[in-house]
Each structure stands twice: as structure tokens, then as C-alpha cells.
Chains A and B, each alone.
Chain A
Amino acid sequence: MEQWIAMLLLISAIWLLQIRKISDSVPILAFQSFVLALTAGAMWYQTKLSHLLIAALLTLVVKAMIIPAILHYTIKKIDVHRQVERVTSKYTSLLMAIILSVAGFYVTSRLHLPSTKFGEPYLPVSITLVFLGTFIMIDHKKALMQGIGLITIENGLFLVAQSISYGMPMMVELGIFFDMLVTVVIIGILSLRIHSTFESLNIEKMSNLKG
């Protein structure tokens, strides 16, 4: 069962690399966060650690609902129903994603991280999520996608913490959620500003600002 959930997470991350329109990314992200909430919930069910439940609910509310809502609003406001732009071609990025996934699985198998009983199946996927999130940020040229990559990295880190020690202390978790929310709001605002200044979300144009 855990393996299947982990695979869903992995597929969602690779899917984010393969989308055609920017607006497609929001439901995928919401789906990814929803699966994440599911993992936390499953872990709570197995361990009965109460803070896992809180984390699961928070993930569901913040990451799977509020954040996608903000992103959706931003995209509607900018009206970018256009295609995404990548540095590499669609198939090269798929190849890179596969290489990174293999690297993630290979690295975790070598590292012997002190994982927990119920979290262990998620560990390779969580590290791969971090890799893929970074690759999303590298590969996509549109500013909004950088934010989506960042959230994917965060999801990966959340899962790492969960699989190693059933999550971080409650205070840290809350802080991270709050940070995440603020980050997304800022990304939204910045995307609007960038769009109104450059008539584009392509971050390559921002290097024109360099002195």
C-alpha cells in the first residue's frame, strides 16, 4: 500500500515537468499535497501520534486547498493560459527526471538513514521529490513555476522528516506551514508585478535588470 502511495507522489512530481499549460500545474500540485496529507493520515492511523493528525489536517487545508486557490487566483488574474516554456525539450526533461529519480533511490539505498518502521517506504521518494522540485525550478522559465517547484521541494522535506522521525516538532511544523503560505502569497504578488512590468513571466528577461 505505502509503495503505491509513494509512486503516486513520484508520478505527480514528474507530471509537473510534463504539463502543457501553466494552469494545469495547480490541480497536480493540489493532488500531490492531498496524497501527502494521506501519507500523514495513514501514519497517524498506524502510530496514533496525535501531532501527525494535526500535520495531516494542516497539509490538507493549507497545501491542498489554500495554496492552490491562491495560485489559481493569480493565474486567472494574469491570464496565462499559454504554454509553459522550458529550457530543455519535453523529452529531455523526462529523461532528466528519470535520472534524478534513479539517483534519489540509489542515494537513499546507500545512505542507510535511520528511518522509522512505517515511514521507511517513503524515504527514497521523499528525497527524489526534493531533486525533482529543484529540477522543476531549473527547467521552467515562467516565474510561477519556480514557486511550484519550491512547494514540491517543501513537500519532499516534509516527507523526509516524517519518514525519519514521524515529522518535526509541532512548533517547527507550524512555522513551516506559515512560511509556505507567506511564500506563496509573495510569489503570487511578485508574479503579478513581474507580469505587469515585463508583459511576460519569463524570468530570463529579469537578467536585463542586472547592472
Chain B
Amino acid sequence: MGEFAIRLFVLSLLLFVFGAFSALCFNRRTKWANVLAHCSSFLGGLFGATTAALVLSTKQPIIVTAWTIVSDVVLRLKVDMLSAYFLFVISFITIAVSIYSLGYVTEYYGKKPIGLLGSGLNLFVLSMIAVVTVDHSVSFLIAWELMSLLSFFLVMVEHEKAETRKAGYVYVVMTHFGTVFIILSFLTLFFFTKKLDFSSFTQTATRFPDYVKNIIFLLSLIGFGTKAGMIPLHVWLPRAHPAAPSHVSALMSAVMIKTAIYGLLRVNYDFLKGGATWWGAVVLGIGVLSAVLGILFGVAENDIKRFLAFSSAENIGIIFMGLGASLLFRSYHEPLLGALALTALLYHVLNHAVFKGLLFMGAGSVLYATHTKNINELGGLIRRMPWTAVLFLIGGMSLAAFPPLNGFMSEWATFQSLLHLSFSLDHPIWKTVGGLLAAALGLTGAFVAGSVVKHFGTAFLALPRTSHAAKATEVPLAMRIGMVVLACGTVVFGVWPGLVLGMTNQIVESYFHQSVTGRAMLYIPFHRSVESISLGWMGMIFLALFLLLIALLRVLVGKSNNRYDETWNCGTPLVQTMEYTGTSYSHPVLMIFKRLYGIERKVEVHGEYAYYPKRIRHRLKTEAIIETKLYRPLILGTVWLSQRLRAIQSGNLQSYLAYMIITLVVLLLWIR
């Protein structure tokens, strides 16, 4: 069995490599390049997912030794339980994205080199798989850097736009900022173990003194947190995701930011095996900040992809809340509750990947059909693109945590973990904070639901606002199939959580020695092992209630009767500009949180009499407060410092030589 899994895994890796090279070779023949690249990534994803499922079901880690880079640094791919789970997530999303890309890249025929694009996609997926499977810190950093650079190239596909170039720049700066901290955390580990491979970290890191553990924790949190997009290090997310081609942003948002979660779990659970209480508190704090602020920034957006990017920051916040709760329970020696929180977080990793991938594909389909991402220029798409509309709605409902879809299941499990903070920990602070955190998560959920309504309602319902929207047609079959795959995922992972719990259980067991699993329908222990409640049945009950309500209405009111009539229009003809826009929908929220958005509002009334204006101009300017208040001073300070430092760089050969000889003499004098 193990042999078979290894062969399958190697085959999947080779398929990605094959896809990358064959697409490059056929760069001139766009159609061939498209088919070759995406078929091989599809097969690669399929085999990868199978490997992961095999590893998780047999509980046998597999090891593939590929290449001895230098005598001490071996490129070895080791799929243990944690790796296998993330491998499954990556491969599953890759399957759907590959099918979707077959249709989506036709948009770029004749404009962009398809071979390069397809090759980049294959290598990007390969690098992500490498990130979650390698077991050596040097090869991990190489894979991590490759992943960052390849995704940067993919973001820059539409480099002729100034906006994209700016986004790419911010992305590459931020991602390297994060990498610096990851390198530092590995160096700290190396400094105290004198080894570079993960297994020695695992064996010796628990014996480190506390301050070293704290340093490693903080460095890894900043480093991986930047990639994950936690607030306030999220600034690249809302820039890079909208700038990238949609199938790439689906991969980046659904999977790439999850590799950071993998890194955090690897460092904090595998190496350090949990730590002080304040670790959990810090992660919880960042989580709640990311969740609430992320969605508050998202509500104000009118660009679908920017909204989805902000929502990724919010979901990372939810995942961080699970991680924080889990670390906290671990430090209080509550293994069962810690296991529950870890399950919730792992479950949400998969679920977010599935529905966010679906939503980005939906946004991509809208972009494909209408060439705009601004919802205020859309409208009425449900009649022209019924498939996309329904699939986007499924994704949106899952995002808004509607039972029985998968988004609900994991958010609900996170809720439970947060409530357990106040129920099960005998500490006055957690009694208060636990409840507040759960309330904050509830607030987040409400805003998410609001923004989903805003985006779906404005883009898909009512009349088309511009000719772009009016001329839209349904997207090609391949794109629809890609979305359907993930839509099925949202339903299956929601209704049958036992499937996912079977996978996460191996990981949770290895860290907490507690089993969180269930029969076909999931039972999550509510408290200790006595009370238990089934997520699956809860979903079913909700569905049943819903159906019952419809049936009841049918009996009481009778068959619904429709009357078609004209809308009351104050005596003027109905035009599209009268429609409620996305901006107006989110306006109340903007007004409530005025401070946060830094709103500048201007109303100009033109005309002789104020009561009979000829023209009213309403302008609303928001500014990203984190960027102006946090990043601007930092950037200005750095620029100031650099300008001072530039004085020594005169461009004069003699002064450079003088620096050299002064350094030489000082070194020779100082060396003893």
C-alpha cells in the first residue's frame, strides 16, 4: 500500500513538471498549451488528492527522497498526517481550478503567452505541494521562496496596467518581509539544535528555554502571518488578489495563504508542542482583529475580487481564532477542548479553500463575461448567466455560514471552541473574553452575510446598469464544471463532516491524544464526552425546518399567486440609474464606523433653489486607515533614513576605495 502511495505521489509531481515544460514547449500554439498545461495539472491534482487520502486512511507517512542538494541538505518529501491534509486541500482545489482554467484562459488568447501562464500555474502548485511536504528547513525556504516568486509572476500577468504593477510591488515587498521573519525563526531553531532538518527540531525543540520558544513563536507568527494576510500585515491581499487572473487568485486565496497556516501548525505544534498562555491570547487577539476589521473593510468594497480578498483576511482571522483557542486550551492542559479547537481550525482551512475558490471562480466568470469587477456597473446577470449566479450564491451562502453548507459547520465548531473558553476554563478573564470573542465572531458573520447580499444582489439581480452587463452571456462549459466541482464540495463537506473529521482526526490525535471524530454524521463533544451534538444533524434539522416552513406556508396561504404590475415610479420613467447601488447598500455601515474608514463626504447641490436642485453631486471618499496611520509613517521614516544613508554613496570611485581600505585596516586591527 505504501509503495503504491509513493508511486502515485511521484506520478503527481511528475505530471506537474510535465505540464510546466510541455506548456512552455507549445507556447506558440495557444490551444495545445492550454490543454496540455491544465490537463496535466488536473491529473496531478487528482493523484495528489488520492495520495493524501491514502496516507490519511492508512496512517502511514510516506517519504520520497528526490535529490541531495548538498551533503547535508536533502530534498526529501515527507507526507505525514499534517502534510497529507494540506496536500489534500491543495490538490482538491487544483482539480477544480484546472478544469476552470481550460475555459478561463481563452480570455487571454492572443493577448498573453498561454504557455507561460499554464507553466507558471503548474509550477506554482508544485511549489505549494513542496512547501507542505519537505522536511528540511533549507528546502522549505527554497520552496517557500519559489512559491512567493511564482505567485508574484502570476499576479503580474496583466503587467501593462499600472495598478497591477503597483500591486505586484506591494506583494513582493510584503512577502519578503514575511520571509525574513521565517528565516529568522528557522535560524533561531538552528542556533539551538545545530541541525536544520525538521525531525531534529521536533525532537529537541521542546527542551528549549522558554524565552527561545517565545522568540521562535513570535518570529513565526509575524513571518507566516504576513503570508496568511492577518491584519495589520494584510495590505498585499486586497491588491494582489484582484490584480491576478481569476483562476490564479482562486489558488492564491484558497490555498496559498493556507500554507502559512501549515507553517504555523508545524512550528507551534510539531516543533514547540504548544507554549505559554499568552501565545494563545496573542493569536486570539490577532484573529478577532483580522476577522472583524477584515470584513468591515470588505463591506465597503464595490469590487467583487477586492471584497473577496478582504473576506480572506476575515477567514484567516477565524482560523487564527481557532488556533488561538487551541493553543490556550493546550497551555491549560485541556486536551479534549484543544483537540476540538484544532479540529475546527483544520476543518475551516478546507472549507474556506473550497468556498473561496468557488467565489473567486464566480467573480472570474463575471469578469470573463462582462469585463468589469465593479458591481455598480453590473446587474441582472442572473437571467443571462443562471449557472454562474446559482454557483456564486452557493459559495456566498457558505461564506456567510448558512447551514447546512460547509462554511457553517466549521464556523460553528469555532464558535463552540470560543464558548468553551468561558464555560470550561476557571479563569475570570477567559469567562468574560470567551463570550466577547464569540460575540465578535457573530458580528463578523452578520457583516459577511450583509456583504454577500450586497454583492450578489447588486451584481446578479435587478436590471443591468451598463451595456457590459446587458451583453453578458453564460461562460464556457469548462468554467461551469470547475465551479460545480467546488459547489459539490461545499455541500458534501457541509452535510457529511464525518468525511473531513476522519482526515483531521489523525492530526489532532497525534498532538492531543484525543480523538475528535464521529459516525457518518459528525458528533462533536460539547462538553467532556457526555453531551455531544451532531453538526450534520443540526444542518439537517435546519433544512427540515426550512422545508417545513415552506410546506406550512403552502397549506396556510395556498398556492403562491403572482401579479405582474408596474412599479410605482413617481411619474417618471423607470431607468437603471434609479436602482439601489452597492455603495448605498453598505452606506449605513460606513456611517456607523465613520472613524474606521476615515470618510470624507461631500454633497454639492447645484441650482437656484435648494428644494428644486438641478443636479446633486454626492462624493464619498474613504481611506484605508491602516495604511495611512500605520504604514505611511513607517515608509516615510524608512525613506528619510535611506536618504541620509545615501550620502555615503557618492558615486566617486576614490571614496569607495577609501571605505575599503579603512574597513581593511580597522578589521586587521580589531581582529585579535
Contact = CB atoms under 8 A, between A and B. Distances in A.
Interface stretch (B51-59, B501-509, B579-587, B650-658): B650-658
B292 to A, nearest CB: 48
Contacts of B657: 134, 137-138
Contacts of A1: none
A207 B660 contact: no
A111 B668 contact: yes
Contacts of B650: 207
A207 B665 contact: no
Interface in B632-672: 650-654, 657-658, 660-661, 664-665, 668-669, 671-672
A110 B672 CA distance: 8
A135 B653 CA distance: 12
B583 to A, nearest CB: 45
Interface string A113-140: 0000000000000010011001101110
Given A146-B653, A207-B652, A138 B672 contact: no
Given A110-B672, A207-B652, A210-B651, A138 B661 contact: yes
A134 B661 contact: yes
A138 B658 contact: yes
Nearest to A140: B654
A84 to B, nearest CB: 14
A203 B672 CA distance: 37
Given A204-B652, A210-B651, A111 B658 contact: no
Nearest to A110: B672
B661 A135 contact: yes
Interface in B528-548: none
A210 B653 CA distance: 12
Contact of A134 (B660, B669, B671, B672): B660
A203 B665 contact: no
A201 to B, nearest CB: 13
A203 B652 CA distance: 9
A87 B653 CA distance: 12
30 contacts: A100-B665, A103-B665, A103-B669, A107-B665, A107-B668, A110-B669, A110-B672, A111-B668, A111-B671, A127-B668, A130-B664, A131-B661, A131-B665, A134-B660, A135-B661, A137-B653, A137-B657, A138-B654, A138-B657, A138-B658, A138-B661, A139-B654, A141-B654, A146-B653, A203-B653, A203-B654, A204-B652, A207-B650, A207-B651, A210-B651
Q: Which 8 A-B pairs have the closest CB atoms?
A: A134-B661, A107-B668, A138-B657, A138-B654, A210-B651, A137-B657, A138-B658, A207-B651
Contacts of A137: 653-654, 657
Nearest to A103: B665
Contacts of B668: 107, 111, 127
Interface in A165-211: 203-204, 206-207, 210
Nearest to B655: A138
Nearest to A106: B669
Nearest to B667: A107
Interface string B168-198: 0000000000000000000000000000000
Q: Interface on chain B toward A: helix, strand, loop, or mixed SS?
A: helix
Interface of B: 650-654, 657-658, 660-661, 664-665, 668-669, 671-672
Q: Interface on chain A toward B: helix, strand, loop, or mixed SS?
A: helix
A87 B655 CA distance: 11
Nearest to A143: B653
A107 B661 contact: no
B658 to A, nearest CB: 5
A96 B92 CA distance: 71
A110 B668 CA distance: 9
Nearest to B656: A138
Contacts of A210: 651
A139 B665 CA distance: 17
A43 B46 CA distance: 73
Interface in A40-81: none
Given A103-B665, A134-B661, A111 B654 contact: no
B658 A107 contact: no
B659 to A, nearest CB: 10
Nearest to B650: A207
A107 B665 CA distance: 8
Contacts of A111: 668, 671-672
Identify which of B650, B651, B658, B668 gathers the most chain A CB atoms within 10 Å of its CB.
B668
Contacts of A146: 653
A87 B672 contact: no
Nearest to A134: B661
Interface string A95-107: 0000010010011
Contacts of A204: 652
Nearest to B653: A203
Contacts of B654: 87, 137-139, 141, 203
Contacts of B653: 137, 146, 203, 206
A200 to B, nearest CB: 15
Contacts of B672: 110-111
A88 to B, nearest CB: 11
B8 to A, nearest CB: 51
A182 to B, nearest CB: 20
A139 to B, nearest CB: 8
Contacts of A141: 654
Contacts of B669: 103, 106-107, 110
A127 B664 CA distance: 11
Contacts of B661: 131, 134-135, 138
Contacts of A134: 657, 660-661, 664
Nearest to A107: B668
Contacts of B652: 204, 207
Contacts of B664: 130-131, 134
B650 to A, nearest CB: 8
Contacts of A127: 668
A138 B655 CA distance: 7
A148 to B, nearest CB: 14
A206 to B, nearest CB: 8
A135 B660 CA distance: 10
A160 B661 CA distance: 17
Nearest to B672: A110
Contacts of A138: 654, 657-658, 661
Given A110-B669, A137-B657, A138-B654, 17 more contacts: A87-B654, A106-B669, A107-B665, A107-B668, A127-B668, A130-B664, A131-B661, A134-B657, A135-B661, A137-B653, A137-B654, A138-B657, A138-B658, A146-B653, A203-B653, A204-B652, A206-B653
Nearest to A204: B652
A134 B665 CA distance: 11
A111 B671 CA distance: 8
B653 to A, nearest CB: 6
Contacts of A130: 664
A131 B650 CA distance: 22
